[in-house]
Structure 1
Amino acid sequence: MLFRRFPEAIWQGLGALVLTGALSFYAIVLARSTHSPPSLWLANGALIGWLVRKPLADSWPLLLAGSLGVVGAKQLLGDPLGSSLFIGLCDAVEMLLVSTAIRRRFPAITTETRFLELARVGLLSALAGCGLCTFGIVSIQHFWPNMAFWASFSTVFRAHFLGMVIAASTSLVVASKGWRWSEPVGKPWTLVRDLSLLAVMTAAVFAQLRFPLLFLIYPPLLLVVFRHRFAGMVIGMAIIALITTVATTLNLGPFNLVTGDTVALRVVMSQVFIGASCLVALPVVFALAEHDRLQLGVRESKLRYRMLADNSGDLVMRIRPNGDRQYVSPSVKELLGWEVDDFLKPRPDLIHPEDRERIADVVRTLHAEGGTTTATYRLRHKDGHYLWIEAFARLVASPDDDGTMEIIYTGRDVTERVRVEQALMESQAQLRTITDNVPAVIARLDMQQRYTYINRFVEEISGESPASMIGRTIREVRGEVVYGQLQDHLRRAYAGESVLFEYEATYLGKLHQFQAHYVPDRDGDGVVRGLYALTTEITHIKNVERELLRLAHQDSLTGLANRRYFSEHASYKLRQASQRGTPILLALVDIDNFKSINDTYGHATGDAVLAEVGTCLRRLMGKGEVVARIGGDEFVVLCDDVVNEKSARAFVHALWERLHMTVTVGGACVDVRMSIGAAICTGELTDDVLMKLADDALYMAKDGGRNTYRFLTRGLESEEAR
């Protein structure tokens, strides 16, 4: 059932079990035959290539299988189960540390991998993993710390570290199927030939016992590395390690030339030799791999560039200092109608006459100063019409290594864009002409309240030029006093609200009144990115409004308020007096025998009398008192600052006395006399009631013979009321 559900995982687990078990069995048997520790432990490194290709959550079956392989080998050789399990656990920790470090830094190992960085990460993680594993293995064999512990630690650590470097490199190559990570030289059979030469030379060195000829192994090893890169290195090191360990076990080879050598010493020397061989081969292979990777990148970059240049719609050229083209992309045919051969020589005649001198200056400046430049100019098509070309040019050292500098030129057709830009500029010029002649200030503010545009009309209002205002904030331009009036409206507009309001400000010594409309400026997503301000001067409108208001509320003959104004204010005065609980006085003033004045002296004289009475009343009235002409010869006085009935009577008496006058018109002298009806009241009452009381008092004065006044009260205790 498990084979059907997870066939690949089970086969990989069985493979890991067999591989680590066989390598462990080989190392242990070889070591015990000479009564020495294993000189090379390959089992742990053999699985690294497969572990780095799996996520951590999926790698535990391989780790478990590898550990069981080690435990199984030790059990076959009769080791105790407990120590075997512990050693298997230590080996699993070593494999886990190394594979996790490599996988985390390099999720995928490809031809683009930086091999020097991979080697650094692998060696550092191998040092840490092998050290931890060795510490655990030696701890169950010796007490810590003592000399025997550290001696065993040194031997076991070297075996694990060398085995990890050799086996892990091999497994990485095999598992990644990267035999050609950087292109090796020759055909596959040359790999077999060169490895055979290395194997023969290594066997020959270890077969004789007279001379220390270990150095003879390095030339064929470096040859294999140079020709076959990683594949040659990992297989070559495996051959050297295998022959070295077998020969040392069989007491063969140059290590026996050492005087007083022991088995342990020969194991150490074999480990040192294998490690030195790795140190010789690894830097070379990684340097070669990095070199090949960079060369491959350069070749691919050149191919991509050539492919892009040949197939690009833009015109690409390499231009020599004398103007000759080293390369012209085939797009010149599609773009300008010319063949490539037509463009290999300088063609200044194709540049529009108006642009030739400017482009020549650009080229001279580029050669003199270097760097890059961009220019837009017109080139003639083969058909005769001109196209707008936007050219980007860079001065670079010639790839021919002749010490000259070339221009790399890229040009594209921007005719349509230029037309649109010209149309836009024309439209903007028209719009500016319109806005500059609109009798209102039109401006735009950014999110920092800085002016980005303002039309010319502002100069007529404030005397300040628009150019001097651009880039400054509205606070800097308008001043603290005006900004204080605008601040709240600005806040609302920036919050997304359309705001219409009025304010006043002084410019050039004159008070102006304005109406402003703030409209948020939103981008395509509806986010506010500034605001537009339309400000109209309404000083003349306000003056007209005030004049209309004056005419609507003022008697044109006397200059006093009219009946409409009196009616609007009487109710307000009554409510105030009622709320304060204070008395209010209303006096009706009527000119005696005014009809006979008109009949006797004429209407002009009657008008003069009315105007003189109005002037007199204006002079007599104090602050807060309302005086109005409410009819032909009838006037009204409303006073809310009287204290009591006595003061009210005194006020009315003084008013009656002062209104006795003689008016001289055209040599005629007219004596003017008045009748006054006054009412003083407290409490809640309407203006109609108050007017009725005053009117009754006026009739009483008329009935009393005219040229007198009468007084009525309401809500006050008085003789007359009683």
Structure 2
Amino acid sequence: MLARRDPHGLWPLFAAFAITGGLSLYALALARANHSPVALWLANGALVGWLVQRPLARTWPLLLASFLGFVAAKLYLGDALSEAVLIGVCNVLETAIVCETIHRRFPSITPHTRFMDLARVGVLSALAASVICALAMMWIMNLWAQLDVLMVANTLFRAHFVGMVISGSTSLAIVTPYLWRLKPARPGTLVRDLGLLAALTAGVLVESRVPLVFLVYPQLLWLVFRHRFVGMVVGVAMIAVGVSLATTLGIGPFNLVVGATPAFRVAMGQVFIGVTCLVALPVVLALSEQDRLRKQMQESELRYRLLADNSGDLVMRIRSNGDRMYVSPSVKDLLGWEVEDFQRPRPDLIHPDDRERIASEVAKLRMQGGDTTATYRLQHKDGHYLWIEAFARLVPSPDGDDAKDIIYTGRDVTERVCIEQALMESQSQMRTVTDNIPAVIARIDMDERYTYVNRFVEQISGEVPPEIIGRTVHEVRGNALYDRLKPYLERAYAGQPVMFEYEATYRGKPMHFQSHYVPDRDAHGRVRGVYALTTEITHIKNTERELLRIAHQDSLTGLANRRYFSERVPVFLKQAQQHDMAVLLALVDIDNFKTINDTYGHAIGDVVLAEVGQCLQKLVREGEIVARIGGDEFVVVCNDINNIKQAKAFVQSLWERLHMEIDTGVAQVKVSLSVGAAICLNEISADAVMKLADDALYKAKEAGRDTYRFLTHGLGDNGGNDDNSSSETIKLRRAQ
């Protein structure tokens, strides 16, 4: 299944199996052939380079392959399966501990990785893993009963620890290309230097009469100095393999100790290999770290120089005396000056209005340190001025004289400043316009706080904008008015423009307002506030009321006119029908009014009309209608009638009280009236009711005037008959 899913993934497994099995077979077979302990265990560290940059969850196939390789080597040598499996688990555990510890601290090894920290973590994790593995193997192999148990444990620990350091660093260097490029050299030079070290190592290990093994150190250090990690890893590996062969085969200077046992020779070889690592590893780490920092500094300087030389901004390094140690070439494009022209201080190029301020900023910067930003004008070589936004920071001088230099960066912001000035001018003009518009213009944020109010608010409420801005609508308007405004605010916050009217009292005077709330949206369409335009419409409302009064009122008598009567009667009748009530409509006509006009004149006639109108107004109650609908014709409508008798009494009272003698100042005019009344139930047609009342009036005039008649409709058998002589009480409401 694995092969079908990822055919290329099998090759690392085969490699892990072969490398671990091969190294294990080599170390075990060599030790057993010479009846000595294993001098150098390289198998566990060989996988470190592959596994250290991967999480443990992804490395188990390689660990399993290496485990199988070790078990295969043990079985090939005739060892028991149980022992091979247990010791294989120990080796896998040792490898996993080292790899996971390094991976957690350094998930990836990059040019920015600190090699000192990497080496420290790797050595400490290898030390801990080797101790655990050695103790576990002592228990598995039942070596605690031996007399030299400490020597055995020490030998196992050294073989695993030194082998882990050597093979682990070797494999890591092999799979990390960056480590090969730290100190690049020609391949021929590397081969030559390695050949010299190999020849020297073979020579000192073959010589058994004089201990000359220390002679390998100068050549090893030379390899480290010339080739860094590659030289150290390959060189130490060559020395370690040579020493392990010599100690295992019983040759070389390690036999100079009289009576040395194979275990002692192995221990001596392990100590030598360990000392070799301790000699080479710190040197290569220090040199590699130095190379890394030097390279980063060079790259940083190159990037800075590239940015400074090609940036459109003006970059300068200024000494305390004003000399400019560096001026970027952009000064030519920015200000027209050559770099040489700008090396010396040029305060004369600063606009006269800005010189004192800039000098003060520079003095403050040199006294207090830190950084500062200033915008000022600099003169172009052509004579015009540019607005420059400058950022300056006081830093230690790189010349190492304890002086402080100013790093200056300036850019042309002339266009931005011109836009800002135009914007400020526009805002000033806009404020002038809004402050003089006869309406209150305000902006309210999402917290219901005023962020802007124009000055017209002073004429309305007496408050000035600074007293309002920052306060909430509830705080400014009060409880009662806020409760009326809040529903409209909520609709505006929901994204709906809304227009409404309301009343409020300011300075003790009731006023009418019309407000228009418009949502304020950002670039993404989200509501971020509300614009409010509020106009005082008190004079409009007063005018509307006056116009309504003129349209609905008779100017001579002060009563409602025919238009108002025509609009109100249908509503009056509909309400009466809904409540199952009767309606009384009485037409009142002044007898012989034309004779009064002809005899006394129209002015006296008008006085008579006014007096009759006032008398009628006094006779009706609130809610009832009295109107002048013609020259001398009036109408009275009421719906508080319970029976025919009450209706007759009301009409008779009306007729009697309208008999009067009016003092006009010129003559005493006697007035009599004819009344025609109609009482209807469930009649919603105003024309029908008027027709019935008009018929009753006609009967009154036909009877000789100065009398009244009324007709009924919808009241049973008596409907439509003259009921002037009847005194019988008839209920007008229908039986429920």
TM-score band, normalised by the shorter chain?
A: 0.7 to 0.9
C-alpha spacing 1:245/1:710, structure 2 compared with 1 (3 Å)? same
| 2:197/2:235 contact within 8 Å kept | no
Instruction: Identify the residue that residue 111 of structure 1 maps to in structure 2.
Output: 111
Counterpart code for 2:573: L
C-alpha spacing 1:341/1:590, structure 2 compared with 1 (3 Å)? same
| 1:208/1:254 contact within 8 Å kept | yes
| 2:87/2:140 contact within 8 Å kept | no
Looking at structure 2, the residues matched to 187 and 131 of structure 1 have their Cα atoms a distance apart, in angstroms, of 39
Secondary structure, aligned partner of 1:396: strand
Counterpart code for 1:619: K
C-alpha spacing 1:139/1:590, structure 2 compared with 1 (3 Å)? farther
Looking at structure 2, the residues matched to 152 and 621 of structure 1 have their Cα atoms a distance apart, in angstroms, of 130
**Within 5 A, what are the aligned runs for 1:387-536?**
387-536=386-535
Counterpart code for 2:551: A
Instruction: Identify the residue that residue 626 of structure 1 maps to in structure 2.
Output: 625
Counterpart code for 1:412: R
Instruction: Identify the residue that residue 549 of structure 1 maps to in structure 2.
Output: 548
- 320-329 vs 515-524, which moves further: 515-524
- 202-211 vs 442-451, which moves further: 202-211
C-alpha spacing 1:643/1:179, structure 2 compared with 1 (3 Å)? same
- 501-510 vs 108-117, which moves further: 108-117
| 2:700/2:708 contact within 8 Å kept | yes
Counterpart code for 1:481: A
Instruction: Identify the residue that residue 615 of structure 1 maps to in structure 2.
Output: 614
Gaps of 5+ in 2: 727-736
Counterpart code for 2:403: T
C-alpha spacing 1:192/1:504, structure 2 compared with 1 (3 Å)? farther
Looking at structure 1, the residues matched to 291 and 528 of structure 2 have their Cα atoms a distance apart, in angstroms, of 53
Looking at structure 2, the residues matched to 436 and 579 of structure 1 have their Cα atoms a distance apart, in angstroms, of 54
| 1:664/1:670 contact within 8 Å kept | yes
Looking at structure 1, the residues matched to 648 and 157 of structure 2 have their Cα atoms a distance apart, in angstroms, of 126
Counterpart code for 2:684: L
Offset of residue 575 of structure 1: 1.4
Looking at structure 2, the residues matched to 346 and 150 of structure 1 have their Cα atoms a distance apart, in angstroms, of 77
Counterpart code for 1:50: W
Looking at structure 1, the residues matched to 651 and 153 of structure 2 have their Cα atoms a distance apart, in angstroms, of 127
- 576-585 vs 656-665, which moves further: 656-665
Looking at structure 2, the residues matched to 225 and 15 of structure 1 have their Cα atoms a distance apart, in angstroms, of 29
- 681-690 vs 330-339, which moves further: 681-690
Instruction: Identify the residue that residue 333 of structure 2 maps to in structure 1.
Output: 334
- 278-287 vs 438-447, which moves further: 278-287
Secondary structure, aligned partner of 2:698: helix
Instruction: Identify the residue that residue 24 of structure 2 maps to in structure 1.
Output: 24
| 1:202/1:217 contact within 8 Å kept | no
| 1:588/1:637 contact within 8 Å kept | yes
- 701-710 vs 596-605, which moves further: 701-710
Secondary structure, aligned partner of 2:353: coil
Instruction: Identify the residue that residue 376 of structure 2 maps to in structure 1.
Output: 377
TM-score, length-scaled by structure 2:
0.85
**Within 5 A, what are the aligned runs for 1:4-83?**
15-33=15-33, 35=35, 37-52=37-52, 63=63, 66-80=66-80
Secondary structure, aligned partner of 2:559: coil
Offset of residue 331 of structure 1: 1.0
Looking at structure 1, the residues matched to 199 and 620 of structure 2 have their Cα atoms a distance apart, in angstroms, of 132
Instruction: Identify the residue that residue 592 of structure 1 maps to in structure 2.
Output: 591
Offset of residue 352 of structure 1: 1.3
C-alpha spacing 1:378/1:31, structure 2 compared with 1 (3 Å)? same
Instruction: Identify the residue that residue 570 of structure 1 maps to in structure 2.
Output: 569
C-alpha spacing 1:50/1:669, structure 2 compared with 1 (3 Å)? same
Looking at structure 1, the residues matched to 106 and 313 of structure 2 have their Cα atoms a distance apart, in angstroms, of 38
Offset of residue 671 of structure 1: 2.2
Instruction: Identify the residue that residue 171 of structure 1 maps to in structure 2.
Output: 171
Within the alignment, does 1:230 sit opposite 2:253 as a pair? no
Counterpart code for 1:569: R
Offset of residue 186 of structure 1: 11
- CA displacement, residues 451-478 of structure 1 (integer Å, 9 cap, x when unaligned): 3333222222222222333333333333
Secondary structure, aligned partner of 2:452: strand
Offset of residue 100 of structure 1: 5.7
Looking at structure 1, the residues matched to 668 and 89 of structure 2 have their Cα atoms a distance apart, in angstroms, of 137
Instruction: Identify the residue that residue 315 of structure 2 maps to in structure 1.
Output: 316
- CA displacement, residues 305-336 of structure 1 (integer Å, 9 cap, x when unaligned): 12211111111111122222111111111111
Offset of residue 557 of structure 1: 1.1
Offset of residue 221 of structure 1: 6.6
Secondary structure, aligned partner of 1:367: helix
| 1:351/1:379 contact within 8 Å kept | yes
Instruction: Identify the residue that residue 654 of structure 2 maps to in structure 1.
Output: 655
| 1:319/1:325 contact within 8 Å kept | yes
Looking at structure 1, the residues matched to 210 and 98 of structure 2 have their Cα atoms a distance apart, in angstroms, of 41
Offset of residue 218 of structure 1: 7.8
Looking at structure 1, the residues matched to 708 and 683 of structure 2 have their Cα atoms a distance apart, in angstroms, of 25
| 1:142/1:148 contact within 8 Å kept | no
Looking at structure 2, the residues matched to 543 and 328 of structure 1 have their Cα atoms a distance apart, in angstroms, of 75
Counterpart code for 1:28: L
**Within 5 A, what are the aligned runs for 1:43-442?**
43-52=43-52, 63=63, 66-80=66-80, 84=84, 91=91, 95=95, 98-99=98-99, 102=102, 106=106, 108-119=108-119, 122=122, 126=126, 141=141, 156=156, 159-180=159-180, 182-183=182-183, 189=189, 228-250=227-249, 278=277, 282=281, 285-442=284-441
What is the number of residues matched between the two proteins? 720
Counterpart code for 2:704: G
Counterpart code for 2:659: H
| 1:191/1:228 contact within 8 Å kept | no
C-alpha spacing 1:473/1:275, structure 2 compared with 1 (3 Å)? farther
- 310-319 vs 267-276, which moves further: 267-276
Secondary structure, aligned partner of 1:406: strand
| 1:139/1:149 contact within 8 Å kept | no
| 1:332/1:339 contact within 8 Å kept | yes
- CA displacement, residues 328-348 of structure 1 (integer Å, 9 cap, x when unaligned): 111111111111121111111
C-alpha spacing 1:544/1:42, structure 2 compared with 1 (3 Å)? same
| 1:318/1:328 contact within 8 Å kept | yes
**Within 5 A, what are the aligned runs for 1:569-718?**
569-716=568-715
- 376-385 vs 472-481, which moves further: 472-481
